[in-house]
Structures are given as structure tokens and as C-alpha cells.
């Protein structure tokens, strides 16, 4: 039987790490998902002038301070992307590529991603469009699949898919090291839309079309509606109360994903509020 954590935190930016530290202070058994560098938006900031008590700090220095603080409290960030969070009644199931996890309460602190979805992406989700190679590759046995990869990890996912399907195209949306299996055809181009009738049939690029049965879109993050079925949104942000509660009992949201202004201290503060309310929720369940 897998461990059931008190609290799972999805995201390792200012909101997620603040949530984790506050949960540890409340003696909760937690798990944090994100990246070893915590957040691209942290390490890319050249200079930060508005973090209380830490004037003129660089993003990388602030990241190191967050890591040192978290590590000193025994917090480790698990470098796994969570693809789905399902409310199961008494607990939440969190689905990653390789593993599944369980927690009594969940905080979504995934930040906002600004890359636009493709026309047809949501329309054909589950009808040929997928965000998760491990979950869905087996549905495409003997078929043609196109992977749109936004990060280095998408190379591994494309290689995995190519071992199952008949033909794999890979469209890189990042600069990097493309160590693709020899049976994968790399196509340089800009995806424009996904087309079909009742299921995916075609990926339209700016200067060509690919006939394909499936399109795997592998970005750094998953949209909140895709992450948590039934989650109430306000535009591209998760709708929250002042207690950072969402419309799903036991599920909280904090940081950029819960709305503007997009700022480190606002994110850290909301992470704290989310945790303190999650702790009450967890304690009430006992
Ligand atoms: P993020 O920092 O975006 O972190 C989200 C984390 O969640 C990431 O690690 C991501 O990989 C992870 N994640 C996402 N989806 C999943 C998933 N499905 N599973 C697992 N992990 C996932 N703000 C200021 O206050 N002052 C500044 O000077 C400033 N300068 C900035 C400079 C730049 C260049 C940029 C880009 C932003 C700047 N900001 C600044 C804004 C600030 O970066 C954000 O407000 C802040 O990072 C938000 O923190 P967050 O925790 O909500 O999300």
C-alpha cells in the first residue's frame, strides 16, 4: 500500500516552498513536487528588489536561500510532473508519469504558463490529444503519433512512445540536445492547429501538415482544468477564497496560479495561508 501523505504540494516556487516550510512547522507528513532548481522564474530573475529583508538579491541567490531553508527542515523536492489530481472522497490521488501518490489535502502552486494552447487542443483532448506519454502511449499501438516537445524530458517521453507506436514524429519547441531514437523523425516547424473529425487526423504546421492519429503535447506544466477535473477557474487562474480554498474540498491553490499580482512575496504569503487552512482541514479529518 502506498504512503498516504497529510499534504501534497504541486509546485516548488515561492508558493510551494513556503507552503512546505509551514506544513513542516505544523508537523505534517508532506510531499513536494517540482524541479531541483525550484522554479525557472526564480533563477531567471536578474535582480530582485522587493523581497523583504533581502534587497538586491539575484534570483539564483534567492533560490539557494529557499533550498537551504527547505533542506534544513528536511524538505526534499521530488522532480516529478503531476499530470492529474483526482478527488477520491477521503483523499486525493496524484498521478505522475512513473508513480502514483496519495494525500489527504493538496495545494496547487504550479505558477502560470504563458504559452498558448493550440486550436483543437482541448477539443480533441482524449480523442487523440494527450499530455502524458506513460498514461496514453499504449492507446496508439500500430499508429502514427506526433510529439510536440517543450523540454528536455520530452525526448525521453518521445523515445518511450516510439517503442510502442508504428511511427513517431518529434517537433522540438526548445533548443537542446535531441538524443532521439533513430526511428523517430524530427520535424522543425511551428504547430498551428490540430484538426480532425471525431478524433485527431492532422497536425497543421506553418509550412506543412502531418497526418497523425495522436498528438502528445509535452509542456513544463499542465493547465489547472486538466490537472484537476471540475476545478473552478476565473480566466486562467484558479478561483480561490481568502483562505486559498478552491471549489474542491481539501484542495487549495497559491501563488501566480491563483491570480495577480505575480510576485514572490505574494506567492510565499499565499503558500502560508493555504497550508494553515489545509492543516485545519487535515486535523478535522482525524
Ligand atoms: P513559479 O515560480 O512559477 O513555480 C511553479 C513551480 O511549479 C515550478 O517549479 C514548476 O516547474 C512547477 N510545476 C508546474 N506544474 C507542475 C506539475 N504539474 N507538477 C509538478 N510541478 C509543477 N516577482 C517579484 O516579486 N519580484 C521580482 O523582481 C520579479 N522578477 C521576475 C523576473 C522574471 C524574469 C520573471 C519571469 C518573474 C519575476 N517575478 C518577480 C515574478 C515571480 O517570478 C513569480 O511571481 C513567482 O515565481 C511565482 O511563484 P509561484 O510559486 O506561484 O510559481
What pLDDT, on a 0 to 100 scale, did the predictor assign at position 114? 63
Three-state SS at 167: strand
Pair 42, 66: CB distance under 8 Å:
yes
Instruction: Give the residue from 267, 240, 243, 242 showing the smallest Cα distance to 50.
Output: 267
The CB density around residue 181, as the number of other CB atoms within 10 Å, is 14
Q: How far is the CA of 224 from the centre of ligand 1 (A)?
A: 15
Q: How far is the CA of 267 from the centre of ligand 1 (A)?
A: 8
Give the dihedral sign, CA 171/175/181/185.
positive
Residue 41: phi and psi, rounded to 5, are -75, -15
- Residues 27-51 have pLDDT tens digits of 999 999 999 999 989 998 999 999 9
Residue 253 — very low, low, confident or very high, per pLDDT cuts 50/70/90?
very high
- Residues 44-101 have pLDDT tens digits of 899 999 999 999 999 999 999 999 999 999 999 999 989 899 999 999 999 998 799 9
What pLDDT, on a 0 to 100 scale, did the predictor assign at position 116? 77
Residue 200 has pLDDT above 70, yes or no: yes
CATH number for domain 4-113+222-285, candidates 3.40.50.1370, 3.90.1300.10, 3.50.50.60, 3.40.30.10: 3.50.50.60
How far are the Cα atoms of 17, 40, 70 from residue 112, in angstroms, in the given order?
A: 16, 11, 23
Q: Which of 21, 67, 264, 270 to mutate to test the pocket of ligand 1 (most atoms within 8 A of CB)?
A: 264
- Residues 128-166 have pLDDT tens digits of 999 888 778 999 999 999 999 998 889 999 999 999 999
What pLDDT, on a 0 to 100 scale, did the predictor assign at position 1? 60
Of ligand 1's listed atoms, the one at least distance from the Cα of 255 is 52
User: Structurally, what CATH architecture does the domain formed by 129-218 represent?
Assistant: 3-Layer(bba) Sandwich (3.50)
Q: How far is the CA of 169 from the centre of ligand 1 (A)?
A: 31
Instruction: Tell me the mean pLDDT in the region 254-270.
Output: 97
Q: Which residues contact 6 (CB under 8 A, 6 or more apart)?
A: 23, 28, 29, 30, 103, 104, 105, 282
Residue 225 has pLDDT above 90, yes or no: no
Q: Residue with the nearest Cα to atom 11 of ligand 1?
A: 34
Q: Where are the domains of the chain?
A: 4-113+222-285, 129-218
Residue 157: phi and psi, rounded to 5, are -65, -40
Domains 4-113+222-285 and 129-218 share a fold: yes
What pLDDT, on a 0 to 100 scale, did the predictor assign at position 135? 79
Of ligand 1's listed atoms, the one at least distance from the Cα of 14 is 51
Amino acid at each position: 500500500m502506498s504512503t498516504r501523505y497529510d499534504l501534497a504540494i504541486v509546485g516548488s516556487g515561492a508558493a510551494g516552498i513556503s507552503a512546505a516550510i509551514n506544513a513542516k512547522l505544523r508537523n505534517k507528513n508532506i510531499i513536494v513536487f517540482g524541479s531541483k532548481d525550484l522554479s525557472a522564474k526564480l533563477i531567471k530573475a536578474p535582480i530582485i528588489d522587493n523581497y523583504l529583508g533581502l534587497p538586491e538579491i539575484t534570483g539564483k541567490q534567492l533560490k539557494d536561500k529557499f533550498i537551504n531553508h527547505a533542506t534544513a527542515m528536511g524538505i526534499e523536492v521530488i522532480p516529478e510532473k503531476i499530470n492529474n489530481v483526482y478527488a477520491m472522497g477521503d483523499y486525493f490521488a496524484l498521478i505522475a508519469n512513473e508513480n502514483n501518490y496519495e494525500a489527504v489535502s493538496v495545494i496547487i502552486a504550479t505558477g502560470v504558463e504563458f504559452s498558448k494552447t493550440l486550436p483543437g487542443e482541448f477539443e480533441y483532448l482524449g480523442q487523440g490529444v494527450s499530455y502524458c506519454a506513460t498514461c496514453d502511449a499504449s492507446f496508439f499501438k500500430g499508429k502514427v503519433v506526433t510529439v510536440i516537445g517543450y523540454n528536455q524530458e520530452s525526448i525521453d517521453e518521445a523515445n518511450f512512445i516510439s517503442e510502442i507506436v508504428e511511427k513517431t514524429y518529434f517537433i522540438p519547441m526548445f533548443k537542446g540536445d535531441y538524443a532521439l531514437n533513430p526511428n523517430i523523425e524530427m520535424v522543425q516547424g511551428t504547430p498551428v492547429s490540430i484538426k480532425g473529425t471525431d478524433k485527431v487526423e492532422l497536425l497543421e504546421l506553418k509550412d506543412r501538415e502531418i497526418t497523425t492519429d495522436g498528438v502528445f503535447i509535452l509542456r513544463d506544466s499542465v493547465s489547472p482544468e486538466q490537472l484537476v477535473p471540475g476545478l473552478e477557474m476565473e480566466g486562467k487562474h484558479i478561483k480561490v477564497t481568502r483562505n486559498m480554498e478552491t471549489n474542491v474540498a481539501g484542495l487549495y491553490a497559491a501563488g501566480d496560479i491563483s491570480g495577480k499580482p505575480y510576485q514572490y512575496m505574494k506567492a510565499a504569503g499565499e503558500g502560508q495561508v493555504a497550508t494553515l487552512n489545509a492543516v485545519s482541514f487535515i486535523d478535522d479529518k482525524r
